[in-house]
Each structure stands twice: as C-alpha cells, then as structure tokens.
Amino acid sequence: MIRKFSYEINMEQGKTEEAYKIAKEKYAELGVDTDTAIKQMEDVVISLHCWQTDDVGGFEKPDSALGGGGIQVTGNYPGKARNIPELIQDIEKVMSLLPGKQRLNLHAIYGHFGDKFADRDKITVGHFTKWIEWAKSKGTGLDFNPTCFSHPRADNGYTLSSKNEENRKFWVEHVKRCREIGAAMGKELNTSCINNIWIPDGSKDIAVDTYTHRALLKDSLDEIFETEYPKEYLKDSVESKLFGIGSESMVVGSYDFYLAYALKNNKLICLDNGHFHPTEQVGDKISACLQFFDEIMLHVTRGVRWDSDHVVILNDETLHIAQEVIRANALRRVNIGLDFFDASLNRIGAYVTGTRAVQQAFLIGLLEPFNQLKTYENENKYFERLALLEIMKTMPFGAIWDYYCLVNDVPAGIDYIKEIQTYEKDILNKR
Ligand code: RNT
Ligand code: ZN
C-alpha cells in the first residue's frame, strides 16, 4: 500500500464517513438500509479467473501461449505473469485491492509442472497440491476448469465431440482427471469446487453432421460424469456458447444442448454473458434458470461486437445480471465467476477494475428499494416503477461504495489507480 501520513488518512476517512452518513439518509428515505446492504455483500463471493494475469497461457511448458479454441487475446502490454510465483504475486495484489470475499478459479494448465511436462491426460492432484496449500493459507476456496484448447489434439476444432476416437478419449480422460483434482480441492479446503467445462468444438463454415457431434458430446459427458463425487467437494457446470473465432457457423455445446443436459443430469449451467446474441439478456435468464436449477454459475464478462471477453465495466448488462440475482434473493445459489482477458492494458489494473465493477453492480442491486418497486408493479403503477428505477440511477452510490471500501480496508475512490501504478513501476516493469 502507498504510505500516507496519518492526518491525511484521518481526513480522507472523515470525508468518506461524512459522505456515507448523508448518502445513508438519502437511501433511508426510500426505505433502503445501507448498512444491511453492506453486510449482505458478505454473500457476494467472486471467483477470480487466474487467466487474466498471463493471457490464458498457463505454465505447462516455458512460453506456453493461448492457441486457438475460438478465443483470442490481443495486446502485449508489459508485465504478464511468466510463472506461478508471479501469478500468485499478481493475484495477491489484486485481492489486496478488492473489498469483500474472493475465491480463485484455476485452469488445468496452471498446475505446478516444474520441468516435467505432463500431458493433459496425465495431470494429477499432485500438480495442484501447492495451489491447495496456498488457498488454505489464504482461507480461500478454489474452482477449476479443464483446458480443452491450446493443444495439438484440439487443433482441428473438436475435443469431446471429436469423431477421432483417440482424441475424444484423450479429452474425456483430461476432464475426468480435472474432476478428481477439483474434488480434492473441495475436500481439502472445505468448500465445494466448481469444475466448469467449456469446449471450443465447432465449425467455421456450415456443418452438416451436427447431430453426430452433439451425440458424441453427450456420450463423452455421460462417461465423464460416471464417477460421482459428494457435492460438498465438487460441483460440475457446463458452459455454452453461441459462436467463437473459427466456430462462427456451429458450436456443438450450444445453449439448448447444455441447458437440457445440465437439467437432465443435475449439473450446473454456466451462463457467460459474452456467449449469447447481443440482444439476448443473461440477466433475464437468471430467474428462469433458478426455477429449475438449485444453483447456477456465471461468467461475468463484457461482449464487444464479436468478441466475448473484454474487461467488465459497470454497464447495463452487468447491472441487470446483479439486480436479477438480488431480486430473486439468490446470492447463495448463484456462483459468480469472472471471464475476461485483455493484454492491451495493465493486466492487474484491468483485473481490479473489472472485479470492482461486478462488486459495484451487486452493491447497487442490494441498494434497490425492491419492495417499493414490487408494490408499484403489483398495483400496475408502471410510471411510478419506471420513475423510481430512473431515480435510483442518480442516487449517491459512490459514497456507499467508498465507505464499503473503507470498512474493508482497501483503497476507495481513485486511490487504487495509484496503487496499480506503483505496482507497475516496482514489479511489472521489472519482469
Ligand atoms: C470461452 C469461455 C471459457 C474461457 C475460459 C478461459 O469462450 O468463455 O470460459 O474463456 O475457460
Ligand atoms: Zn466463459
């Protein structure tokens, strides 16, 4: 943290507290208790996606890099994490600048492989024991993801739905091992690990035998899920997509496919809001899915035109997702993960900005006068409902957010920008 003289801190703290007091009164006029909202933020646990620190490269081999799979990272801003110690350093920096609680979401390519390469069908819990130890020491949970891309066996665009039986088996084995690793994480850490399956399978141009590919995917998943783990250790989720780079015309793991599969097989559905048509709203899917699923998983991201992984900002989409979770009173049923990667700006700054945006969206959701809005709605008072929703947009939310940061002992307002600049100068630029 940047050092400040104590009188400066006291002054700033005083101003933050004063602004909070006034804002608290404003919200109270609308029947909203800001202290309660801040308390409820304890249930907003964000699973940090480790891959923002190194452009989804992973550490299987020296100089591993993201290859294919319908996702792409652009930019070469200096300071990318080149190994696990650097990644941990970055993650800990990110965590030190975030209020609230976090978990860490690892991909299979982030194991401790040392100089002994282990192919994806050979990874074991042993490659992740150090991560488990790290998580224990931080008191945080871990989530996990098979890595079904950046690999020669994924080169022709198909993995779990491949017609090449040898390749399909290879990926089935990989995902099975990932579940075993995830279950070990959950068991050791006393908090269930979500193992989220996303595959890049699809076709750039018109595909005709979609039926067979989807049948193969179904068979692969059935085989993968044959082993059952207690849900206190492991939860499985499946992530759909509309299209990707190189899979523009057909994606095997579409929303219809996974929604049906997950429901029928008691799995979680993972909604990545970058994976739908731009006029579709993931916010609106939440109360629908929650009628049928005990829990769902989110990948909060920002889609920009054809790309699904820009740094999250506090836009209407992020807000709508958070509001719908809060309105459904479903914080404990919705697992909040992040998914963005951008190498064109300070990665750690982007990471903190994106995560804070999600946290802000949830805090705004918690500060909504939901009962009043619902009453208007029930009474067909639609002008009043609309007016109040509009009024909420100009409420002094910033003062509540700053206070929330203050009580969490993390920089409020613009202070984290300086923190990131210092980190860049002292750490990132020396890599
Ligand atoms: C890709 C999916 C998937 C990945 C990560 C790295 O479109 O969103 O979640 O981004 O597994
Ligand atoms: Zn995703």
1 domain-assigned? no
346 domain-assigned? yes
Domain with 86 in it: 28-430
Give distance in angstroms: CA of 382 to centre of ligand 1: 39
13 domain-assigned? no
The 10s digit of each residue's pLDDT in 2-46 is 556 676 778 889 999 999 999 999 999 999 999 999 999 999 999
Concatenating the DSSP letter of every residue in 186-202 gives HHHHTSPEEEEE----E
Computed over every residue of the chain, the mean pLDDT equals 96
Average pLDDT over residues 209-227: 98
6 domain-assigned? no
* Catalytic-residue membership of 275: yes
Average pLDDT over residues 338-344: 97
Share of the chain above pLDDT 90, in %: 93
Give distance in angstroms: CA of 126 to centre of ligand 2: 26
The 10s digit of each residue's pLDDT in 40-85 is 999 999 999 999 999 999 999 988 999 878 888 999 999 999 999 9
CA 65 to chain centre: 21
4 domain-assigned? no
SS3 call for 133: helix
pLDDT at 430 over 60: yes
d(CA 104, CA 106): 6
278 domain-assigned? yes
CB-CB neighbours of 96 under 10 Å: 15
Residues in the chain: 431
The 10s digit of each residue's pLDDT in 239-277 is 999 999 899 999 999 999 999 999 999 999 999 999 999
pLDDT at 307: 83
The finding on whether 71 has its CB within 6 A of some atom of ligand 1 is yes
SS3 call for 14: helix
The answer to whether residues 86 and 394 touch, using CB atoms and an 8 Å cutoff, is no
420 domain-assigned? yes
Q: CATH number for the domain including 273?
A: 3.20.20.150
Beta strand pairing status for 202-203 and 234-239?
A: unpaired
The 10s digit of each residue's pLDDT in 363-385 is 999 999 999 999 999 999 999 99
d(CA 159, CA 152): 10
Q: Which of 339, 342, 368, 424 is catalytic?
A: 339
The finding on whether 353 has its CB within 6 A of some atom of ligand 1 is no
Task: Tell me the two tokens of residue 294.
Answer: 């005990």
Q: Number of folded domains in the chain?
A: 1
Minimum mean pLDDT range among 9-13, 188-192, 325-329: 9-13
Give distance in angstroms: CA of 208 to centre of ligand 1: 25
pLDDT at 81: 98
Task: Tell me the two tokens of residue 328.
Answer: 């459904």
pLDDT at 110 over 80: yes
Of the listed ligands, the closest to the CA of 68 is: 1
Largest Cα–Cα separation, the chain: 70
Give distance in angstroms: CA of 149 to centre of ligand 1: 10
Mutation to probe ligand 1, out of 160, 272, 338 (largest number of atoms < 8 A from CB): 272
89 domain-assigned? yes
Phi and psi torsions of 380, nearest 5° = 60, 25
Mutation to probe ligand 1, out of 71, 201, 273 (largest number of atoms < 8 A from CB): 71
Of the listed ligands, the closest to the CA of 200 is: 1
The answer to whether residues 326 and 368 touch, using CB atoms and an 8 Å cutoff, is yes
Phi and psi torsions of 200, nearest 5° = -85, 0
d(CA 336, CA 105): 11
CA-nearest of 367, 360, 369 to 23 is 367
* Catalytic-residue membership of 277: no
pLDDT at 241: 97
pLDDT at 109 over 80: yes
